[in-house]
Amino acid sequence: MPCPSGLAGFGAGGLRAGGPRAVLQPAPRPRREALIDALALWATQRFAAAVDAAHPDAPPLVALSQTTANVLSVKVGWGFAMSYASSAIPEVARVHRDVRDTCERLFRRAREAGVLRADVDISWTRRVYYALIHEAAQNRKEKDIDAVATLIVDTPLRGAGAPHPDRP
């Protein structure tokens, strides 16, 4: 008598009375790290989609505001997964590189349009911008994403200092 499907590896002896018992075990579960990596990749792809959905080629200030609100929404909603997004995963590293390049292009366009000073360090400005988004995502007291996005954009553009008569 042939073995029922799924039990073929146990042979017919496992089904006879008095024969050895066949212990059926579920397929091995994925490692915790593999699940976290998959979740991190998924969140990173949402992050990239948020940047693309903001139309980074729109006028610089519009694109910067929309990108900030979109990215902040992803980071608030998927903060756990985003915090595990590691550059050790090649696709995650590529997505973050592409987003970084898009962000720096956007800041260069903002500089060319006069939104940023001509002498601004684009890489430094991007890192400060990222830090502001990170801090805002960690501090979830403010529920209005658009209001927080406006604060994030205004901080590097207008600074936190009082107007100075010797500076424009």
> Which domains does the chain show, CATH number per domain?
32-158 (1.10.357.10)
Q: pLDDT > 70: what percent of the chain?
A: 71
Mean pLDDT of 39-58: 87
The string of pLDDT tens digits covering residues 116-140 is 999 999 999 999 999 999 899 887 7
pLDDT: is 32 or 164 the higher one? 32
* pLDDT score, position 6: 41
Q: Tokens 């949402």 identify what position?
A: 46
pLDDT category of residue 2 using cuts at 50, 70 and 90: very low
DSSP 8-state class, residue 21 = P
Q: pLDDT > 90: what percent of the chain?
A: 34
Checking if the pLDDT of 63 tops 90, the result is: yes
Burial of 116 (0-12, 13-18, 19+ CB in 10 A): buried
> What is the rounded CA–CA span in Å between residue 134 and residue 152?
10
Mean pLDDT of 37-59: 87
> What is the rounded CA–CA span in Å between residue 80 and residue 43?
9
Checking if the pLDDT of 1 tops 60, the result is: no
